[in-house]
Amino acid sequence: MKEVVNLTKLFINESLGLSLFFYNQKFNRKEFYKQLFTLIIVPVALIPAFFMYVSLMSATYFGLTMINQTSVFLSIGYIMATVLIIVFGVMYILSEFYFSDNIEELIPLPISQRKLIVAKFLSILVFEYIFAAFIFGPILIIYGVGQGMGLLYVLLSFLVFLTIPVLPLSLMTALIMLMMQSASLKGRKDMLQIVFVFIGLVVIFGVQIWFTSQLGNGDEVDFQLLMNTMLTNNEGFLNIIGYIMPTSFLMAWTLNKITLMSFAWVGALLGITLLSGALMVAIGERVYLKSIVSGKTIKKGKQLSGAQRNKALGKKSHGAMAVFTMDLRLLLRTPVYFFNNISVVIIAPLCILLSVSFIEIPPEDLQGMQDFFRAMPLLINYLLIAFFIFFGGTSATTATTFSREGKASWLTRMIPVTARDQIVGRTGVAMLIQSLGIVFTIISIQFIFPLTLSTLLVTVILGILGSLPILLFGLFMDMNRPLLNWDNPQKAIKNNMNVVITLFVGMAYTGLLIGVCGLLGYFINPLLGYGMFMMISVAISVVFYKVINNRLEAEFLNFES
Amino acid sequence: MLKLEHISKTYGNKNEKAVDDVSFEVYPGEIFGFVGPNGAGKTTTIKMIVSLLAPNSGKITINGIDNQNDILAAKKQFSYVPDSPELFEKIKGIEYLKFMADVYQVPAVERQERIEKYLDIFEIKDAVNDPIGSFSHGMKQKLALVGALIHDPQVFILDEPMVGLDPKASFELKKIMRDHCDRGRSVFFSTHVLDVAEKICDRIAIIKKGKIIEVGTMAEIREKAGSQESLENIFLELTE
């Protein structure tokens, strides 16, 4: 037990970089303040979102009170928390169990496989409990306060809360271990991770689309109708999830009405949870380390003849092209990077396309929408521009460009490539990804109504120009504070404050730019609005370009200081 | 060819100097060995030479170019292989070599000839189309060496180059180093293998706690130490 606790502490310490944090406190104050800033700013930045979430949940509860259906409230929260735990948990499980470097050091040590699995699972669980506290905690409190529940409810809800992340995570871990076993044998670990997360996203998105389609054919939807549909339709969302996830019934029976039976139901819930954990450990003991060891065999490329090697070496390319190609290859071939930087440009347009195909919009409504947008070309243009900038701003490609290289960044800093080539190559990758998103979006939108040539030209040009300052700002951030010391590529993105800062600054800038130029265009002249948009975007881009161009070589010297 | 003048470097703790007023010069055609105990400041010094770290004071010139005033021009004069070459794991060996050839602007014919030559010498021709992640430590080291030799640098800088290499590769590397210097270029490398340093270096610098405590040919070092013993024994005496 002590060994498991120590291992768990070690994994948590490694995930959070606690030892380094305290070392920096004593010996590297500059780095310490950077980390401290991150620790403070992230929770603070999330406060508004949390309050919005609590308000939404309170409104949902009062909505349900009005139709006398409060009993469904806890089930909604339970299912939502479970789905979110699965969504975010998949990457954590894969990272901790399969993509963390620590396993290489631990395998030779005399630690039983069971202890290793349990400790790794517990280290994930700690973070998932914190996550669940923010998602499911408010739901338990709102319901308890609303129903005037007593101490027994507090005790029972605490026990229910304890089970929340364990069951979905155990089952997901077991499933991943089984899938990784077959994947590792074929040396296809990276590809499997991509497939796995895509399947997860498609399932979640499919459920959401299906859920929306259950509401009717484009009629005006209100909350009450949504609830009624769920409650009256036997094939409804809750029942289906309930059948897939029977524990949601146990949870509801435990907490909806406190009786002696509640203890039996919570006991059953705890029992099932423990069983799921035991099942995961039992499966893990059979397959985990075996698949890790065999997974070390990376699929090799075919041997090249002299002529093939010469062809692969090619002719002399420009420095910017070399940087561009290398950055793109790293993005495409590292699953974590692929999902964080590229998937959004595929998923967002796919959402539009699937929504259109699943939800049948009556022809008269579609005609009405088309007429409305034809009458307001300015509105549709700026909406599309905002959407296109979204691909640039959210991809975090430039905001993590040096961080993604991690310990191999010495190479980037040592080679004689001009700052201009670095900027062009790295921003070029981000723009390519953004352009893909733009193309996919335009194709998807064509299914609703064809865009005019002028709209296409204006939105594509301004969409790309408008995102350029955000991309360069991201590059500027990563140049100043790259996150290079990681043992797992997920940290280069998820633990990187540059992503959050670029996202917030980018959103604020986009909102302001579109607001000001849109108003100018609406009240004075559309061309004036577009002209102003271009001028501001170009001016800010030039400023950032010059700053980065002047500072990059010097900043490279500070990456390890 | 490589000149360090009064180089100093501190990290977080300002009172403790990792490198303290280091000066020496590497001449054309010379293999220069840099030896010292763990934590003596060898890697920090090398990182300052190859523009991975900025010195707090002092001046470094490579082939006459100040590496702080004209970083890019200085970078073109050398190539560097670190002690543990962390490379992009998802990239294939051949893609890495193309990248290196491109950033150093090596023409097509030269890159093909050099890469063929060094892939043969280090016996990694068959693995060059595999992802670097599948390479062993030694193979990564060999790939990094091939990548560093693509542009035939004026100064070849290596940090602990023999670590991880098999005996044949070590032997070939020593030959390459000598050939390189015979063509009027220079090699600067750090090592713990004092036997190697003694045998192949034209001159040696010994660093201890950030300070150069001895620099010269083996004969000069022996003379100063007043002993005819091996470099290992002299080193142990000097660094105790």
User: By mean pLDDT, which of A200-214, B79-93, B174-188 is the weakest?
Assistant: A200-214
Q: Which of A414, A418, A549, A550 would best serve as a mutation to test chain B binding (most B beta carbons within 10 A)?
A: A414
pLDDT at A218: 43
Task: Say whether both A287 and A323 belong to one domain.
Answer: no
Q: What residues of chain B lie within 8 A of the CB of A418, using their CB? A: 72
Nearest CA in chain A to B113: A310
pLDDT, average across residues A397-419: 94
The residue-averaged pLDDT of A368-381 equals: 78
Residue A235 backbone phi and psi in degrees, to 5: -90, 15
Chain B interface mutation, best of A33, A324, A326, A401, highest count of B Cβ atoms under 10 Å: A326
Burial class (CB in 10 A: 0-12, 13-18, 19+), A55: exposed
Task: Report the C-alpha gap between B74 and A21 in whole angstroms.
Answer: 35
Residues 6+ apart with CB under 8 A from A87: A200, A204
Same domain, yes or no: B40 and B103: no
Higher pLDDT, B114 or A102: B114
Look at residue A314 and tell me if it is in a domain: no
Measured distance CA(A236)–CA(A230) in Å, rounded: 5
Q: Residue A230 pLDDT more than 60?
A: no
Distance of alpha carbon A399 from its chain centroid, rounded? 15
Same-domain status, B58 and B100: no
Please state, in angstroms and rounded to a whole number, the distance separating the CA atoms of residues A310 and B94: 10
**pLDDT of A206 over the 60 cut:** yes
* Same domain as B96, residue B61: no
Does residue B43 belong to any structural domain of this protein?
yes
Of B72, B82, B129, the CB nearest to A301: B129
Rounded to whole angstroms, the Cα distance separating A232 from A209 reads 19
Q: Within this chain, do residues A55 and A190 fall inside the same structural domain, yes or no?
A: yes
Domain match, B93 and B208 both = no
pLDDT bucket at B13, cuts 50 / 70 / 90: low
Using a CB-CB distance cutoff of 8 angstroms, which residues of chain B are in contact with residue A321? 102
Cβ atoms of A90 and A172 closer than 8 Å: yes
Residue A408 and residue A323 share a domain: yes
| Mean pLDDT of chain B, nearest integer | 90
A135 shares its domain with A268: yes
**Res A544 pLDDT > 80:** yes
List A residues 341-360 in contact with B (Cβ-Cβ < 8 A).
none
A141 plus A277 within the same structural domain: yes
What tokens were used for A476?
A: 């500027």
Scan for tokens 């954590």, then name that residue.
Answer: A92
DSSP state of A524: T
State whether residue A311 sits within 8 Å of chain B by CB.
Answer: no
Supply the ipTM of this predicted assembly: 0.91
User: Is residue A191 domain-shared with residue A76, that is, in the same domain?
Assistant: yes
Q: Is A435 a member of any domain?
A: yes
Task: Report the pLDDT averaged over residues A157-170.
Answer: 89
Question: Same structural domain for residues B61 and B161?
Answer: yes
Pairing assessment for the beta strands B17-26 and B2-10 based on DSSP bridges: antiparallel
pLDDT reported for residue A13: 82
Residue B227: pLDDT above 80? Answer: no
Residue A317 touches partner B, C-beta closer than 8 Å: yes
Provide the 3-class DSSP secondary structure of residue B82: coil
| pLDDT value of residue A221 | 45
**A411–chain B nearest CA distance, Å:** 8
Domain that holds residue A485: 319-556
User: Residue B103's closest chain A neighbor by CA?
Assistant: A319
**Residues A404, A512 share a domain:** yes
User: Is residue B186 scored above 90 in pLDDT?
Assistant: yes
**Do residue B53 and residue B39 come from a single domain?**
yes
Determine whether the interchain pair B87/A408 forms a contact, defined as Cβ–Cβ distance below 8 Å. Answer: yes
Would you place residue B87 in the very low, low, confident or very high pLDDT band (cuts 50, 70, 90)?
A: very high
Instruction: State the best of B103, B109, B145 to mutate against chain A, taking most chain A CBs within 10 Å.
Output: B103
Is pLDDT above 50 for A235? no
Higher pLDDT, A32 or A323: A323
Residue B228, Cβ density class (10 Å: 0-12 exposed, 13-18 middle, ≥19 buried): exposed
- Indicate the residue of A310, A317, A410 with minimum beta-carbon distance to B102: A317
B123 neighbourhood in chain A, CB within 8 Å: none
Strand order in the sheet with B57-62: B17-26, B2-10, B57-62, B65-66
CA distance B60 to chain A (A): 14
State the Cα–Cα distance between residues A8 and A119, nearest whole angstrom: 5
Q: Do both B69 and B101 map to the same domain? A: no
Domain that holds residue B65: 1-77+156-166+179-240
Residue of chain A minimizing CA distance to B55: A557
> What order do you get walking across the sheet with B211-216 strand by strand?
B78-81, B155-159, B186-191, B31-35, B203-208, B211-216
The yes-or-no verdict on residue B39 having pLDDT over 90 is: no
Looking at the fold, whether B68 and B102 belong to one and the same domain comes out as no
Query: Which residues in B lie closer than 8 A to residue A190 (C-beta atoms)?
Result: 90
DSSP, collapsed to helix, strand or coil, labels residue A492 as helix
Measure CA of the first residue to CA of the last residue in chain A; give whole Å: 40
CB of B50 closer than 8 Å to CB of B78: yes
- The residue of chain A nearest to residue B50, with distances taken between CA atoms, is A414
> Does residue A207 have a pLDDT over 80?
no
Token pair 């002209």 is found at A531
**Res A456 pLDDT > 80:** yes
Residue matched to tokens 């992640």: B133
* Residue B55 burial (CB count, 10 A): 23
Q: Are B91 and B131 in contact (CB under 8 A)?
A: yes
Contact A472, A541 (CB under 8 A): yes
Q: Which residue has the higher pLDDT, A283 or A361?
A: A283
400-459 of A, contacting B, C-beta below 8 A: 405-408, 410-411, 413-418
Across the interface, which of B75, B86, B119 has its CB nearest the CB of A415?
A: B75
Question: Residue A312 falls within a domain, yes or no?
Answer: no
The span from the CA of A272 to the CA of A270, in Å, is 6
- Mark whether B187 and B214 lie in a shared domain: yes
In a domain, residue B125? The reply is yes
Q: Where do we find the tokens 């202890």?
A: A115
In this structure, the strands spanning B155-159 and B78-81 are: parallel
A38 and A181 within one domain: yes
Together in a domain, A419 and A462: yes
B67 and B108 co-located in one domain: no
- The more confident residue out of B76 and A376 is B76
Q: Does A321 touch chain B (CB under 8 A)?
A: yes
The answer to whether the Cβ–Cβ distance between A319 and B134 falls below 8 Å is no
pLDDT of residue A225: 57
* Pairwise CA distance, residues B51 & B30, whole Å: 22
In this structure, the answer to whether residues A346 and A481 fall within a common structural domain is yes
A314 touches chain B (CB under 8 A): yes
Judge: B115–A557 Cβ closer than 8 Å, yes or no.
no
Which residues have a Cβ under 8 Å from the Cβ of A412 and sit 6 or more positions away? A402, A405, A422, A556
CATH number of B189's domain: 3.40.50.300
Q: Is residue A279 one of the residues assigned to a domain? A: yes
My answer on whether A228 and A325 are in the same domain is: no
Q: How confident is the model at residue B60 (pLDDT cuts 50, 70, 90)?
A: very high
Longest alpha-carbon distance in chain A? 79
Contact B140, B88 (CB under 8 A): no
Q: What is the overall mean pLDDT for chain A?
A: 82
Does residue B173 lie within any of the structural domains?
A: no
d(CA A493, CA A246): 35
Each residue's pLDDT tens digit, A25-66: 777 777 788 778 877 877 787 788 788 888 888 888 888 788
Q: What percentage of chain A exceeds 90 in pLDDT?
A: 25
Give residue A104's pLDDT band: very low, low, confident or very high (50, 70, 90): confident
B185 and B237 inside one domain: yes
Residues whose CB is less than 8 angstroms from the CB of residue B167 and which lie 6 or more positions away in sequence, other chains included: none
Residues of B in contact with A324 (CB under 8 A): none
Distance CA A95, CA A189 (A): 12
| Structural domains counted in chain A | 2
* Chain B residue numbers touching A486 (CB-CB < 8 A): none
- Do B68 and B97 lie in a common domain? no
Domain count, chain B: 2
Closest Cβ–Cβ partner in A299, A301, A312 for B98: A312
Q: Would you say residue A92 has pLDDT above 90?
A: no
pLDDT category at A101 given cuts 50, 70, 90 is confident
Q: Parallel, antiparallel, or unpaired: how do β-strands B186-191 and B203-208 relate?
A: unpaired
Mean pLDDT of A230-252: 61
Q: What is the mean pLDDT of residues A300-329?
A: 86
Which residue reads 């000097």 in tokens?
A: B238
Beta strands, E only, A288-367:
none
